[in-house]
Amino acid sequence: MTKHTHIRNFAIIAHIDHGKSTLADRMIEFCGGLSDREMKDQVLDSMDIERERGITIKAQTVALKYKAKDGETYELNLMDTPGHVDFSYEVSRSLAAVEGALLVVDATQGVEAQTLANAYLAIEADLEIVPVLNKIDLQAAEPDRIKTQIEDVVGLDASDAIEISAKTGLGIEDVLEALVARLPAPEGDAEAPLKAMLVDSWYDPYLGVMILVRVKDGKLTKGMKVDFMAAGAKHQIDQVGIFTPKATQVDALGPGQVGYITASIKTVAETQVGDTITETKRPAESPLEGFKPSVPVVFSSLFPVDNAEFEDLRDSLAKLRLNDASFQYEAETSAALGFGFRCGFLGLLHLEIVQERLEREFDLDLITTAPSVIYRLHLNDGTVKELHNPADMPDPTYINFIEEPWIRATIMVPDEHLGGILALCTERRGEQVELTYAGSRAMVIYRLPLNEVVFDFYDRLKSTSRGYASFDYQIDDYREADLAKVSILVNSEAVDALAFVAHRSQAESRGRAICERLKDLIPRQLFKIAIQAAIGGKVVARSTLSALRKDVTSKCYGGDITRKRKLLEKQKKGKKRMRQFGQVEIPQSAFLAALRMDDN
């Protein structure tokens, strides 16, 4: 093993808004990676949604040339990691590609749940962690208190934390010096068979799929034939390069280096994060450790509000998947909502991001059904079935028992809101694992059923704590639970899109809430409409929409006939967007509205 003494690879771990991207910008600026003209705020977050939400979805990287105080020039490779719980596997792969991390904490706010989760991932990955206190220029900054908090909560020595202001540029050089002095240089054998980790990939309209790699051993060169070990695919490398942050071609990437390759790959679905790339003619004996195919945990159906947009939705999903292989979709038909897609996501944020990109970038008006998790159905015949859609739940008589996924949630919350948060967790069937205090903040760890979290938990958490609570989770295990599928019936016919699975203790009250909501949303008709919630064959809640009271044109003479007839013809056409339930036709819009209100 050789040390590559003039290379440092590092990640930045931070909570949303704690200044990760601004710090990255300042470092690029300091090292002269971009001209002033090319510098725009937060260079690394290139998607609109990322910039707006201040989160990073795709890992990105930049290679900086830094002339240190010792007179030597170092290659500093910054790996900008995805910063959200849904992408923790991606984060773990990014962290596996570096030797150290900057832990950026807002000196006015302190450690948040997300920082903590990612810091633990960094500690687990055996990284050298340099605490950095940002926003030190603000009046409200309390560096000493925050240092204590870092020591108490994260368990890191914060005595030599670097105090900076990414906004004003204060302390940026200290950070760069610390990277050189405190982070270990990468190791790797340049003569060994190639072993490079696939850190991330994305679709570039000109170059096709670009792959971000970290070379562990050997060399990656242009024209080389390589194997993707987990995918079992062979490719020939077209381009090798680094980001300065502009993509810049180089002859080769050696051990310890971070850069990109292209290989005429058409979709990112062919590239899996964590895969090992090796040379075809001289392959490595074993792949790098830690590879895991990404698996969706939250499912939801997407329907176009206008059925005519179904094909557009199909095309848009295909395009989106070019750049995000982690979501799945398959066509679905709903009696209530028409044609759509059942989609699987890494988590709730991922769902939101996909939905938002479809609406924004592809200009689609979409409706999303209530998110569902994967239930394991143990059937009486001994088989186990995974249930992705509540509408597909078999009759309870076939089911021996059901298991549901649980999570381990970490919540950080100011003292004064702790009571509300504990009550919320209890209401959601949570089990407390740990409760610790650090200054005026509490850290609670709960085990919670994931299906309780996908159902407006995050919104409730935010409103209960006035926005101060932060939350992170990891998938834990599956446990048996007393769950029931609640069907919503209109005039005795089930509305598939509104079916949901809930714990038996809550099934009835949620069913009742939807019945009441639908009663307000369905326009009155000529006939009474019975709206019911049922578990198994048993009706547990009902509401009745009485017939409409008055609907008659006051004046209708010779000059009005044509207009009245044309109006009727329009109504006949509108029937296509109605769903028949017994004698009544209910506009699709009522179901859409019922689902929309679930968001609130």
Partner 1 sequence: MTKPEPAFGIYIHWPFCQSKCPYCDFNSHVAEHIDQVAWRSAYLAELDHYAKETSARTVTSLFFGGGTPSLMPSKTATAIIETVRSRWKTAENLEITAEANPSSSDIATFEGLAEAGVNRLSLGVQSFDDGALKFLGRAHDSSQALAAITKAKQIFPRISFDLIYGLPGQSEAAWADALKDALSLAGEHISVYQLTIEPGTDFHRQRVAPADPELGAGLFEMTREILQNAGLPAYEISNHAQKGAECRHNLVYWRGEDYVGIGPGAHGRISRPSKDNYDIEMTLAWRAPGAWLGQVQKSGSGLHKRQKLGLSERRDELFLMGLRLAEGVSAERFQRQTGISLEDSLNEGALEALIGENYLICDTDGIRATEAGLLRLDAVLAHLLSSAPELQ
Nearer to partner 1, 538 or 572 (CB): 572
Pairing relation of β-strands 328-334 and 220-221? unpaired
Residues 407-436 contacting partner 1, CB under 8 A: none
Residue 284, classed as helix, strand or coil, is: coil
Nearer to partner 1, 3 or 570 (CB): 570
Pairing relation of β-strands 73-80 and 7-14? parallel
Asked if 559 touches partner 1 (CB under 8 A), the answer is yes
Among 382, 549, 599, 600, binds partner 1 (CB under 8 A): 549
Among 37, 382, 552, 599, binds partner 1 (CB under 8 A): 552
The secondary element (H helix, E strand) that includes residue 586 is strand 584-587
The reply to whether omega before 205 is within 30° of 0 (cis) is: no
In terms of phi and psi (left: phi > 0; alpha: psi -120 to 50; beta: otherwise), the region of 342 is: beta
Task: Please say whether the dihedral angle defined by the alpha carbons of residues 349, 598, 418 and 502, taken in this order, is positive or negative.
Answer: negative
Nearer to partner 1, 479 or 528 (CB): 528
Among 139, 159, 333, 554, binds partner 1 (CB under 8 A): 554
Cβ(102)–Cβ(34) below 8 Å: no
Asked if 548 touches partner 1 (CB under 8 A), the answer is yes
Nearer to partner 1, 315 or 585 (CB): 585
Residues 493-532 contacting partner 1, CB under 8 A: 525-527
Residue range at the interface with partner 1 (CB under 8 A); choices 49-57, 229-237, 509-517, 552-560: 552-560
CA-to-CA dists, residue 570 to 311, 561, 583, 589, angstroms: 24, 14, 20, 17
Contacts of 557 (CB under 8 A, 6+ apart): none
Backbone angles phi, psi at 123, to 5 degrees: -65, -45
Q: Total binding residues for partner 1 by CB under 8 A?
A: 26
Asked if 558 touches partner 1 (CB under 8 A), the answer is yes
Among 225, 266, 564, 596, binds partner 1 (CB under 8 A): 564
Residue range at the interface with partner 1 (CB under 8 A); choices 410-418, 444-452, 543-551, 588-596: 543-551
Nearer to partner 1, 206 or 557 (CB): 557
Asked if 576 touches partner 1 (CB under 8 A), the answer is no
Min CB(486)–partner 1 separation in Å: 30
Asked if 568 touches partner 1 (CB under 8 A), the answer is yes
Asked if 565 touches partner 1 (CB under 8 A), the answer is yes
- Neighbour-count burial of 531, counting CB atoms closer than 10 A to its CB (0-12 exposed, 13-18 middle, 19+ buried): buried
- Neighbour-count burial of 312, counting CB atoms closer than 10 A to its CB (0-12 exposed, 13-18 middle, 19+ buried): middle
Residue range at the interface with partner 1 (CB under 8 A); choices 189-197, 249-257, 456-464, 551-559: 551-559
Residues of this chain that bind partner 1 (CB under 8 A): 525-527, 547-559, 561-562, 564-565, 568-569, 571-572, 575, 583
